[in-house]
Amino acid sequence: MLILGGSASQPLAEKVAKELGQEPGHLEVKRFPDGEKYLRIYNEVKDQDVVAIQSLYRTPDENIFELLLLNDTLRDLGARSITAVAPYLAYARQDSRFFPGEAVSSASVARLLEYAGTTSFLTIDCHLHRLGDVAKVFKIPARNLTAMHELGKYAREHFKPRNPIVIGPDEEAEQWASVVAKELDTEHVAFRKVRVRKEGMTSSKVEVDAGDIEVKGRDVVFADDIVSTGGTIAEAAKACKKGGANRIFVVCTHPVLAEGALKRIKAAGVLKVIGTDTYPGPISKVTVAPVIAAALKS
Task: Establish whether domains 2-146+287-297 and 148-277 are of one fold.
Answer: yes
User: How buried is 180 (Cβ within 10 angstroms: 0-12 exposed, 13-18 middle, 19+ buried)?
Assistant: buried
pLDDT digits (tens, 9 = 90+) for 128-143: 766 678 999 999 999 9
pLDDT digits (tens, 9 = 90+) for 273-294: 999 999 999 999 999 999 999 9
Asked if 258 and 229 touch (Cβ cutoff 8 Å), the reply is: yes
| CB atoms closer than 10 angstroms to residue 70 | 26
What is the chain's alpha carbon radius of gyration, rounded to the nearest angstrom? 20
Whole-angstrom CA distances from 88 to 21, 29, 76, 200, 244 are 24, 20, 26, 34, 35
Fold for domain 2-146+287-297? Rossmann fold (3.40.50)
CA dist., res. 163 & res. 172, Å (int) = 24
The DSSP H or E segment spanning 69 is: helix 60-76
Mean pLDDT, to the nearest integer, of 199-210? 68
pLDDT digits (tens, 9 = 90+) for 144-198: 999 999 999 999 999 999 999 999 999 999 999 999 999 999 999 999 988 766 6
- What is the side-by-side strand order in the sheet with 165-168? 188-190, 165-168, 220-227, 248-255, 272-276, 284-286
pLDDT (0 to 100) of residue 180: 98
Looking at the chain, which runs of residues are DSSP E strands? 2-5, 27-31, 37-41, 49-53, 81-86, 120-124, 142-145, 165-168, 188-190, 192-198, 201-209, 220-227, 248-255, 272-276, 284-286
Using a pLDDT cut of 90, give the percent of the chain over it: 88
Q: Which of 5, 207, 151, 172 is nearest to 93 (CA)?
A: 172
* 192 CB-side CA count, 13 A: 6
Catalytic residue list contains 139: no
Catalytic-labelled residue, pool 153, 193, 238, 242: 193
Mean pLDDT, to the nearest integer, of 118-126? 97
CA dist., res. 5 & res. 43, Å (int) = 13
| CB atoms closer than 10 angstroms to residue 224 | 27
Asked if 21 and 294 touch (Cβ cutoff 8 Å), the reply is: no
Mean pLDDT, to the nearest integer, of 236-265? 97
What are the residue boundaries of the structural domains of the chain, listed by start?
A: 2-146+287-297, 148-277
Asked if 161 and 249 touch (Cβ cutoff 8 Å), the reply is: yes
pLDDT digits (tens, 9 = 90+) for 30-85: 999 999 999 999 999 999 999 999 999 999 999 999 999 999 999 999 999 999 99
Question: What's the start-to-end Cα distance of the chain, in Å?
Answer: 13
Fold for domain 148-277? Rossmann fold (3.40.50)
CA dist., res. 287 & res. 12, Å (int) = 8
Q: Which of 93, 89, 92, 22 is nearest to 51 (CA)?
A: 22
pLDDT at 203 over 70: no
* 73 CB-side CA count, 13 A: 21
Which residues, in sequence order, are CB contacts of 59 under 8 Å at separation 6+?
A: 8
Q: Rounded mean pLDDT of the chain?
A: 95
